Chain A
């Protein structure tokens, strides 16, 4: 390189940038390193370092009387996670996350199935955009829309009253555990809001899985004498499972970490996310908050290892 750059032997006079680009082309490893350094530095210094700092701080000691954090290392925060009150929070959140995952899979399936097998051309593009846009629409606005919908004298109660379903609603609200005084202070209301917000995350992976299902399989099933119901149970549904599992990763993980919806809709009683928020904010107990963040990480890791067996990663 030095010989060329110094002499007029080079066929054309090259700019410095040009020579540098040539140099990079001849040294692919150096080029690769140069490309990777900025993103790696960023993620190493900002993200990984932050996660480690969080993990480290979960071992600090919080003094309940002085309300201060000392740097003495302890595992007490982790043992406290299993206190009855804290364990309740974990169970409450996990049950909600699982219920939301199951129900959104039920709602998503027909939409995904129609998109993948029947809609063509313009209808298909329309469905695609119509599912994608609500997914990207501002999260806080969607949550706000539901506080409008579920409000007293609001849209939902107007429709329920108009359809003469007041008795059904009252029956649902009277069920202990999921009911409450009104929709906006009941677990049913919260459950609907979660389902609504994460539903598109379930539709798209199921649609992708069904899209890959070869039509010849369905014809073969019909030729061999199966009625549509049997074809669905033994051919379509098993092949859609990886998609459902992939979608449930999102619905499960997003519900576990949420603390805005529980704050806006539903009965009092903390969720995992709200507990983290309260601990670090109002109480100032960063070590306990840090220990609590490990719960969703562990739960999601367990969940991922379970759905991996169902083929979820091939459908992502």
Chain B
């Protein structure tokens, strides 16, 4: 079938779809350089890089960036630990309750974020826990686990079990097998899963609004700017930056796992 040529219409529709997906992203990149201060007229009257300096000298922006990075790092580490453990437990053995465990891990991203967010908030309130950085991290880690799990479990399934048996036969003990056979095999999958989890946490808004209390991670900072429009140029610059921070890890994760049957990022 591949020898057949696609019709002009199909080709146009397919490429048109891609343009539709990328045009708004291009607009964000363009407006970050806009000279105009308070409107969105198109085409922009002029281009400048001065807003980058302005944005990076603002304390509230820097604090939000630092906070978001901190949260994303902690959530990613927790998700890496829990997701890898779950993948190691579930990839080979079939036992009672296995499907329920998988479902339980998928639920936090399958159900709308308001449900996860409000559920966590109601539990924190019932236990008199003050919302803050830790409550945000708990929420993020919960829905990031499945991202790591998906990547690592796919790698486990592709790693032949005979490798582990061969290592044991050659006299390595369980620890050496883990250290020299299993871990190097999992490395890139864990890295890819971790980067996707990082991107997901860095940009998460809906669950965060419920668990953040008075903290202002970057997505919440951005949302506040949008509902009370002021400092448009600074907002534009921050938007471009958030976009890059979420795109680059995903691209790297794709390159790390390319060629496998399950490629990182194919499901959010």
Q: A252-292: contact bitstring with B at CB < 8 Å (1 yes, 0 no)? A: 01101111100110000000010011001000001001100
Q: A276-316: contact bitstring with B at CB < 8 Å (1 yes, 0 no)? A: 11001000001001100100110010000000000000000
Please classify the interface of chain A as helix (H, G, I), strand (E, B), loop, or mixed, using the class held by over half of its residues. Answer: helix
Say whether B51 faces chain A, with CB atoms less than 8 Å apart. Answer: no
Say whether A75 faces chain B, with CB atoms less than 8 Å apart. Answer: no
Say whether A50 faces chain B, with CB atoms less than 8 Å apart. Answer: yes
Judging by beta carbons under 8 Å apart, are B28 and A141 in contact?
yes
Q: A88-110: contact bitstring with B at CB < 8 Å (1 yes, 0 no)? A: 00000000000000000001101
Most buried by B among A111, A118, A141: A141
Q: Which of A128-136, A165-173, A237-245 contacts B (4 or more CB under 8 A)?
A: A128-136
Measured CA separation A256–B111 after assembly (Å): 10
Q: A38-B85, A148-B28, A149-B27 are in contact. Are A117 and B175 (CB under 8 A)?
A: no
Measured CA separation A144–B243 after assembly (Å): 11
Q: Which residues of B contact A142 (CB under 8 A)?
A: 24-25
Q: Which of B52-60, B186-194, B244-252 contacts A (4 or more CB under 8 A)?
A: B244-252
Residue from the list B126, B205, B209, B263 in contact with A139, Cβ < 8 A: B205
Residue from the list B17, B27, B118 in contact with A108, Cβ < 8 A: B17
**A-B pairs with CB below 8 Å: how many?**
275
Q: A256-B112, A286-B122 are in contact. Are A201 and B268 (CB under 8 A)?
A: yes
Interface residues of B in 189-238 (CB under 8 A from A): 196, 199-200, 202-203, 205-206, 209-210, 219, 222-223, 226-227, 235
Q: Which residues of A contact B1 (CB under 8 A)?
A: 117, 215, 218-219
Judging by beta carbons under 8 Å apart, are A253 and B110 in contact?
yes
Say whether B157 faces chain A, with CB atoms less than 8 Å apart. Answer: no
Say whether B154 faces chain A, with CB atoms less than 8 Å apart. Answer: no
Judging by beta carbons under 8 Å apart, are A300 and B111 in contact?
yes
Q: Which residues of A contact B27 (CB under 8 A)?
A: 145, 148-149, 155
Judging by beta carbons under 8 Å apart, are A39 and B105 in contact?
yes
Judging by beta carbons under 8 Å apart, are A136 and B115 in contact?
no
Judging by beta carbons under 8 Å apart, are A277 and B142 in contact?
no
Q: B91 to chain A: closest CB distance in Å?
A: 10
Measured CA separation A140–B107 after assembly (Å): 22
Say whether A18 faces chain B, with CB atoms less than 8 Å apart. Answer: yes
Q: A25-B174, A35-B89 are in contact. Are A138 and B243 (CB under 8 A)?
A: yes
Judging by beta carbons under 8 Å apart, are A21 and B174 in contact?
yes
Q: Which residues of A contact B110 (CB under 8 A)?
A: 253
Most buried by B among A42, A128, A201: A42
Judging by beta carbons under 8 Å apart, are B111 and A257 in contact?
yes
Measured CA separation A300–B2 after assembly (Å): 38
Tell me the nearest residue of chain A to B178, going by C-beta: A21
Judging by beta carbons under 8 Å apart, are B174 and A32 in contact?
no
Q: A21-B175, A134-B21, A203-B17 are in contact. Are A140 and B242 (CB under 8 A)?
A: yes
Q: B162 to chain A: closest CB distance in Å?
A: 15
Say whether A43 faces chain B, with CB atoms less than 8 Å apart. Answer: yes
Measured CA separation A38–B235 after assembly (Å): 40
Q: Which of A51-59, A77-85, A175-183 contacts B (4 or more CB under 8 A)?
A: A51-59
Tell me the nearest residue of chain A to B203, going by C-beta: A138
Q: B207 to chain A: closest CB distance in Å?
A: 11
Q: A140-B203, A276-B118 are in contact. Are A39 and B21 (CB under 8 A)?
A: no
Residue from the list B24, B88, B119 in contact with A54, Cβ < 8 A: B119
Say whether B170 faces chain A, with CB atoms less than 8 Å apart. Answer: no
Q: A21 to chain B: closest CB distance in Å?
A: 3
Judging by beta carbons under 8 Å apart, are A49 and B123 in contact?
yes
Measured CA separation A49–B119 after assembly (Å): 9
Say whether A120 faces chain B, with CB atoms less than 8 Å apart. Answer: yes
Say whether B160 faces chain A, with CB atoms less than 8 Å apart. Answer: no
Say whether A76 faces chain B, with CB atoms less than 8 Å apart. Answer: no
Q: A141-B243, A149-B27, A297-B115 are in contact. Are A260 and B93 (CB under 8 A)?
A: no
Say whether B74 faces chain A, with CB atoms less than 8 Å apart. Answer: no
Tell me the nearest residue of chain B to A279, going by C-beta: B118
Q: Which residues of B contact A118 (CB under 8 A)?
A: 2, 4-6, 10-11
Q: B112-124: contact bitstring with A at CB < 8 Å (1 yes, 0 no)? A: 1111101111110
Judging by beta carbons under 8 Å apart, are B122 and A50 in contact?
yes
Judging by beta carbons under 8 Å apart, are A113 and B14 in contact?
yes
Measured CA separation A199–B219 after assembly (Å): 21
Top 7 A-B pairs, shortest CB-CB distance: A257-B112, A21-B174, A114-B14, A110-B13, A145-B24, A35-B89, A21-B175
* A interface list, Cβ under 8 A from B: 14-15, 17-22, 24-25, 28, 32, 35-36, 38-40, 42-43, 46-51, 53-54, 57, 107-108, 110-111, 113-115, 117-120, 125, 127-149, 151-155, 157-158, 196, 199-201, 203-204, 215, 218-219, 253-254, 256-260, 263-264, 273, 276-277, 280, 286, 289-290, 293, 296-297, 300
Beyond A39-B101, A111-B17, A148-B31, 11 additional pairs, beta carbon < 8 A:
A15-B175, A39-B83, A50-B116, A50-B120, A53-B126, A118-B11, A131-B18, A144-B239, A155-B42, A158-B42, A253-B111
Sample (14) of A-B pairs whose CB atoms are under 8 Å apart: A18-B174, A19-B173, A21-B176, A39-B89, A46-B120, A51-B119, A108-B17, A118-B11, A133-B251, A134-B25, A138-B239, A153-B40, A215-B2, A296-B114
